[in-house]
Amino acid sequence: MSIPTISLSQSRATLIAAIRDACLSHGFFQLTDHSIPTSLQSSLFGQMATFFSRPVSIKLHSTKQDHIEGGYEEFRKYSLETGRGKPDLNEGFAIGPAFVKNQWPDETVYPELSGFRKTCESYYAAMHSMAREVGGLIAEGLGLAKDYFEEYFKDELAHVRLIHYFRPDTVAEETEEIGAGAHTDWTLITLLLQDQIGGLKVQYKDTGEWLDVPPTPGAYVVNCGDLLARFTNGVYVSARHKVLAPPKGLHRYSVPYFSDGNPEYVVDVLPMGSEWKEWVGDRKGEVPKAERLWEPVTAGDYFQSKWLESASGGNVENGLGLGA
């Protein structure tokens, strides 16, 4: 059992059907043959390794100030799994859109970080375009116009998060320590680039089994988020996933793009008609819900509530995942 791998080079009809089936069955899939240059991916990983190898005192000069801004996020800052009681073993650097304040390191003071900001901004722009492309494919799979989500993506408060996972010397090797606790993402979709270390696991909804998501060079792991589940009234799956901490001495780098939407956009059940009974009705347990599972919510309010929950150690009673 593994998550589907889907090539963007297929015919559009085949591609739409494959993504729709993956959203129904797993809530996760991998995309290959996309337009993101491997040179940009490699450059980003190189910049990440340089930044995260800096002393903590240097990284703290770029500390993120609130949930909207970009900037450095300290090691063990978040706990994504509600009630686990342990912080996740990662540090990060969040990159928001140009209209928010990103706390960039000063490249005149730290010349070794020359190019960090430019590379991050180029990557952010490329991923925003890719998210809109995937959003259009998902919309068509729901029987909607491919531009249905355009207002969601307009002035989107999306974040790229550069994540560095490692196991400190104080953690026993035999202990299954968690790089990112089990959670669902808060997004419409998440697009994840991961290095070759591995450790990502997704929970298969039909059995509860945890499936490995082995790295595929250059590919993007795509997962449905909470907002897509709300749009489809629970028919599309916002799958739980987690990340194991790498063995001692290894450093794992991953880069999720969290499509969090325009903060003012109201997320409510989509106006899907009879066609979705045709592709859902014959699947065991997969029928459109007669009753609304969630009340409408703005994308901004949902993001803020979930960020507060994770930053408080997962102990806030509420409904951007931050790890993958």
Q: Express each pLDDT in 154-207 by its tens digit.
A: 999 999 999 999 988 776 654 567 899 899 999 999 999 999 999 999 998 888
Residue 320 maps to a domain: no
One-letter-per-residue 3-state SS of 226-287: HHHHHHCCCCCCCCCEEEECCCCCCCEEEEEEECCCCCCCEECCCCCCCHHHHHHCCECCEC
What CATH number does the domain containing 31 carry?
2.60.120.330
Residue 322 maps to a domain: no
Residue 321 maps to a domain: no
Domain hosting 52: range is 5-313
Q: Express each pLDDT in 251-299 by its tens digit.
A: 999 999 999 999 999 999 887 654 555 555 444 444 455 577 888 999 9
Residue 323 maps to a domain: no
Q: Express each pLDDT in 192-203 by its tens digit.
A: 999 999 999 999
Tally of structural domains, the chain: 1
Residue 101 maps to a domain: yes
